[in-house]
Chains A and B, each alone.
Chain A
Amino acid sequence: MQSIQKNIKNSNLLLEVNNLNVFFDTADGKIQAVKDVNLFINKGECLGIVGESGSGKTQTFFSITGLLSSNGYCNGSAIFKDFDLISASEDKKREYLGKSIGFIFQDPMTSLTPHMKIGEQLSEIATFHDNLSKSEALKRALNVLDIVKLPKSRNLINSYPHELSGGMKQRIMIAISLMCSPELIIADEPTTALDVTTQSEILNIFNDLQKGMGISIVLISHNIGVIAETSDRVMVMKGGKVVEKGSTFDVLTSPKDEYTKHLLSCIPPWLEG
């Protein structure tokens, strides 16, 4: 198994995580949320992470990007293009996060700053990371809005988050993450809070980003359908551990692990045919 994995990893390797453990200090003692997780992502591929609540799927990626809450800590290595994210200092991490690595959170309703206009929120990240002037940042913002299929209108740039629908807000989140041309986007349950028709549109955008722009995507979801339609490879997590991984087709059509089989049996029979 190991050698086959190594063969799939190639010179296009973007992120390699080894022996990742995440712990939390709580009132009830020390809790281990992520146990010895290994994963890798190549350039231009989409890795799906499937798991239920408590599986550790979100904490795995929070720890890599330095978003763990203050009572959490981790060990292991997460090499992103020759640079270990876990042992890096806060400043170094901040250089990567937002620039080379974008993060999209689950709830678009609360992820945007309520009192800032959309245009400002988009430009902020470019002026911070790439030292662009305000007008240059705005130009880039308009380009990015095009990618996420939002109108390049003055109206939109000047509106506030509460004036937009959930789907539009999520597109803005994706747009913000695209501002500094990231190589990897991590999306944590990006469509869970959205209607099914909006979800379909957002997933199409992710497809375009991956196939059209070559951006690697990590898509975390508990919805098997979402994973099936977007991911090249998939990792199933339970109780902080990876219980199965492989190509999406293999894992979803011929699952080997009992838990994976159980999960797949819980899906209601699909609609067409």
Chain B
Amino acid sequence: MNKQENIKAIEISKTLKGRSLWVDARRRLFLNKAAVISLFTLIIISIVSVFGPFFLQYNFSDTDWGSIYQPPSFETGHYLGTDGNGRDLLVRILHGGRLSLSIGLIATFVSVFIGVLYGTIAGFFGGKLDIFMMRIVEILYAMPYLIFVIILMVVFGRNIYFLFIAIGAVEWLTMARIVRGQTISLKEKEFIETSKALGQSNTLIIVKHIIPNLAGPIIVYITLMVPSVIILESFLSFLGLGVQEPLTSWGVLISEGSREMETAWWLLIFPGSFMVITLASLNFIGDGLRDAIDPKEY
């Protein structure tokens, strides 16, 4: 083969794509009915939460003293009823959704970022550094986070950004532990040894080889962390430490609703249902991802 033909043959070869492990995982995920339905549900709830309020006639903070504690009705336009201040429940639920979902995402993202960095460094370098870093994690774990959050809130006021920090400060610990464990087992694999033998720098080994191979367990853990973050935020809001009026979250709505449970059942049932459905969906997706990424056939 002369040089021209050779180059052409190579060009053709480069167009042939292999079937990566992600493609395999995606195929397996879509075979899982529960996961697919949950994925759709989650996407619909997200879209409705973000765009829904624009299509509704009521604003989430509009009070209407003439229509307080109204049960759900089609005619008045208050499809899910109103609360003690005459505010439309549906719109508030959707706004609450925006907040709960974004806290779930952002706080999780922050804790993943910190946790992965911390965990891979501790796990990869091992030795005294690892012991020292993990002692810190263990000490932080032992601290009662609720008191920590209360102190933060009292000192800095009820700012929504501190809510993110408080939650992130708690969740990254678990991620760091998991990542460290995975890194330690990956470190022993021969392809990591080969990279070292090739003279690859430690930073690049972590970035190119360890983190992409951690992605599987990390993704699964993320889908299970998001519900946990949402519940944490709801709990804080339930205790009155979360977002401030007129902003609302599902936690706040459930808190208010539980107080009016006996007379205005819709104030608890509807926000509660949204929350339960979202969390269940996230859990199903997480299960599906775990099966898809690490299948034990049949």
Where the two chains meet, the residues of A that have a C-beta atom closer than 8 Å to any C-beta of B are: 27, 69-71
Contact = CB atoms under 8 A, between A and B. Distances in A.
B298 interface: yes
Nearest to B24: A27
* Interface footprint category on B: under 10
Interface in B269-298: 297-298
A69 B297 CA distance: 10
Contacts, number: 6
Main secondary structure of the interface of B (DSSP, over half): loop
Point out which of A27, A69, A70, A71 has the most chain B C-beta atoms below 10 A from its C-beta. A27
Interface of B: 27, 297-298
Contacts of B298: 69-71
6 contacts: A27-B27, A69-B297, A69-B298, A70-B298, A71-B297, A71-B298
A71 B27 CA distance: 19
Contacts of B297: 69, 71
B19 to A, nearest CB: 11
Nearest to B31: A27
A31 to B, nearest CB: 13
Contacts of B27: 27
A69 to B, nearest CB: 7
A71 to B, nearest CB: 5
A148 B297 CA distance: 36
A70 to B, nearest CB: 5
A27 B298 CA distance: 10
B123 to A, nearest CB: 25
Nearest to A69: B298
B293 to A, nearest CB: 15
Nearest to B27: A27
Contacts of A70: 298
B99 to A, nearest CB: 41
B31 to A, nearest CB: 9
A71 B296 CA distance: 12
Contacts of A71: 297-298
Nearest first, the 6 A-B pairs at minimum CB distance are: A71-B298, A70-B298, A69-B298, A71-B297, A27-B27, A69-B297
A150 B161 CA distance: 69
A27 B19 CA distance: 14
Contacts of A27: 27
A184 B298 CA distance: 30
Contacts of A69: 297-298
A71 B298 CA distance: 7
A69 B298 CA distance: 8
B21 to A, nearest CB: 14
Nearest to A25: B298
A28 to B, nearest CB: 11
A88 B124 CA distance: 53
A27 B25 CA distance: 12
B284 to A, nearest CB: 21
B218 to A, nearest CB: 25
Nearest to A72: B298
A190 B100 CA distance: 58
A69 B27 CA distance: 22
A33 to B, nearest CB: 15
A27 B27 CA distance: 10
Nearest to A70: B298
A27 B26 CA distance: 13
A27 B23 CA distance: 13
A218 to B, nearest CB: 27
A202 B103 CA distance: 63
A204 B110 CA distance: 63
Nearest to B28: A27
B100 to A, nearest CB: 37
A70 B296 CA distance: 12
A9 B114 CA distance: 71
A92 to B, nearest CB: 24
A93 B298 CA distance: 22
A131 to B, nearest CB: 34
A148 to B, nearest CB: 33
Nearest to B297: A71
A71 B295 CA distance: 15
B145 to A, nearest CB: 37
B181 to A, nearest CB: 20
A59 to B, nearest CB: 15
B44 to A, nearest CB: 29
A70 B297 CA distance: 10
A70 B298 CA distance: 7
A71 B297 CA distance: 9
Nearest to B295: A27
A70 B27 CA distance: 21
A34 to B, nearest CB: 19
Nearest to A71: B298
A188 to B, nearest CB: 20
